[in-house]
Amino acid sequence: MVNFNRAALAKVLQILDSNQTGEALAAAKLASAMVREAGLTWDDVIAKDVQARAAAAPPAPAQAIGNGPFGYRKGRELSPHEQFFMVLLSPRTPAELKRRLRGWETRVLDGEITPQETQDLQAMYQNFVA
């Protein structure tokens, strides 16, 4: 089981209150992926003793240790919408860049960004998240 970052999940879940439907949907998908990647179910996450069970679990093999940002497995190829929201949520991303990225939101969620924008998004992810 991958380490579970409850604080990161809580930050993602706060976005569910957004007035932007696409943003809220993307946050829900990201939260679901985080839970799935950790090898948990939502029942596990909601359970009060999830931290106690995780502490009692045997240590993971050496190659599985070392989570990526937001609890994602390192080396896993992230989708553009996952990278997009991680860049938006990162405290290292400048506010001006976050404002500019808001214009991309609908196209990212619809999978309509250009190859150049995909490369730009990957570079932003590397600079501000990874």
pLDDT digits (tens, 9 = 90+) for 19-70: 788 888 888 888 888 888 888 888 888 776 555 666 666 655 544 444 555 5
Number of domains in the chain: 2
Placement of tokens 């706060």 in the chain: 14
Please state the pTM of the whole predicted model.
0.47
Q: Is the same domain home to 70 and 81?
A: no
The distance in angstroms from the start CA to the end CA of the chain is 21
Q: Is the same domain home to 23 and 45?
A: yes
Expressed as residue numbers, the domain containing 70 is: 1-74
- Return all residues near 46 (Cβ < 8 A) that are at least 6 apart: none
Q: Is the same domain home to 11 and 70?
A: yes
pLDDT on residue 43: 83
Please check the confidence at residue 92 and state whether its pLDDT lies above 60.
yes
